[in-house]
Structure 1
Amino acid sequence: MDVLAHVSEATGVPADLLGGYLPVLTAAVSTGRLPGRDAVDGLRALGAAAAERGVPVRALADACLLARELDAPPAEAQVLAAVRRALAAYFDGYEEAQHQAIRREDEARREFIGDLLQGRADRLAERAEHFGLRLAEGYVVAVAKDVAPVADGDPLIRRVEEALVTRFGSHNILVAARDGLLVCVAPATLTAATGEFTHHVRGSLGQGWRVGVGRPHRGPGGVVTSFREASDAISLGERLGLRPQVLRAADLLVFPVLLRDRAAIEDLVTSVLDPLREARGGPESLLETLEAVFGAQGNQTAAARKLGISTRAVTYRLERIRRLTGFSPDDPTQRFTLETAVLGARLLDWPARD
């Protein structure tokens, strides 16, 4: 086995990447001169090829030393063997220190994001500057949920954050995992950031993904508020069976208002919808019909298509609702009452929890 084949087997570095190296050493020994420009350019090209093929620079350096060691006189070979071992120790210490620094940074990052999203204020502003956030500004939080929870260490986190930083040239964007959600904290001035975040979520998560987007708020407490709004938007979407996969808290403000006075909404649901219990098969099909009609802006044909029934069946059900409740979706005032009651029923999980 020749020298290059032995070196390649011992170090894992392809032999062709070392082909121009030994002649350079041989020429230097015989002439006493350093390599010329052409030789250096050739080695530089081999170094670039090694990088493109994923060969670590540590392995490349070890291969170069071993190649000379195997081709050197015994005394020089012994010295080169010592140099190889010493360099390996240097590399080990250097890489371990790098790994420890990365682990410390990741741990500090996780702790900071946890404190930020929970509103714990221990040196929060000072720590935020380390991660590029200026908490006096307004921030928006977007969260993504998938069937499988997102956990710390998921490669998706770093991939999405790098894509956002590349797009916007800004380091004051954070992407992390929290409560099984993929969380993005971005300045309110970067209005396209949540759209870019959604784009990468769509390409990376499964079919069941949803994104919630909070409203912009200022200060550390604002980040907490926006995070809660974004999370609540997803929860509301699931409870109400909303079709959009991207839900904005600004579009859902009526629901917190409804829930703020739970006694009032419970009274409305009971007063308006309780008569639907008398319908054959229970109230569920009639509730679904109302939801479809409201979602289609009163277009009964479109509602029938969504429900998979005939338009005549929709008309019949609406008439049945009018007779049982006394409220008609065709009357503007009564329609508002009915729609609010149906939304309240979904929020309260009526009649299942009744």
Structure 2
Amino acid sequence: MRDEDKNTALLDWYDIHARNLPWREPPGAAIQPDPYRVWLSEVMLQQTTVAAVKSYFERFTMLWPGVTDLAAAEDAHVMGEWAGLGYYARARNLLKCARVVAHDLNGRFPDSEEALLLLPGIGPYTAAAIASIAFDRPATVMDGNVERVMARLFAVETPLPAAKPKLKALAGRLTPRVRPGDYAQAVMDLGATICTPRNPACGLCPLRDPCQARAQGIAADLPKKTPRKPKPTRQGIVYLARRDDGAWLLETRPDKGLLGGMLGWPGSDWAETAPQETPPMEARWHDPGAEVRHTFTHFHLRLSLRLAHVPQDARPERGQFLPLARFRPSDLPTVMRKAFDFASKVAMLD
């Protein structure tokens, strides 16, 4: 089957089976996709599932309908609304990018990959996705779904990540000049719904006839992946202090590093060796003998808890007390919220 025929088959399938997503215009719609919504969704979707992103996207676009609205938002408000979505550097770059577009580009996103790549937080995938979907440029969009479809369609047995250049070249060869935005979304939808990692539904696939992996009976085995090294485990301590009036001792983490710019509990560094006690103030710290566990991309984390009730006139050396009326547990990143959930159940902090 010629490449043009593959594209036609895929687009015909997409016209009928396109997923209904809050940031997407349906195929054939007369409305041009909003670059702001495309950009926002693509940043949120980086290493995050569609199911997890939907509610965040809807809340963000309700609070900040356009890029100038987001650019004018307070950092703490945006970081709080992002809490729980993970990979918090994305939220910091989201604000940086919005402010560049709003202040330096008159609120308009550029329409080429090259210009988009100059914006904060936009890498090759996101630039290609925005150029293709929002501006209908023939850009090659590569994510895990596209890699999987290409690996199977052409029976590429080289393991990832070594296979990435070849898979991108194959995807680029297939990217059409007509409806490239719909095509990019069609390939991603195909990988998400039909050409899935496990148990691909080959019988329903519009590309089943030209698929070389299906013909060889190896579709479910592709793409191959180089085995990952085991994740190390790091340890740390977090200190949860509650004042007599109900205020909690919190701090904003440094902009750089994990959970950068997020609200959290004062604590120790995270290391593979046992941490040293570094309390943020003098108090009768209680060790409940509990820890919270969380897994990041590159390591597992185990945080021991220290709890304390402190008087109204307590003066911390680090952090500041946030009045109960202004404290929203939902503003905490997931690992910090796990610590709060435990502490809030302990009788001494009721």
* Bigger Rg over Cα: 1
Q: What's the TM-score once normalised by structure 1's chain length?
A: 0.23
Q: What's the TM-score once normalised by structure 2's chain length?
A: 0.23
Structure with the higher fraction of residues in helix conformation: 1
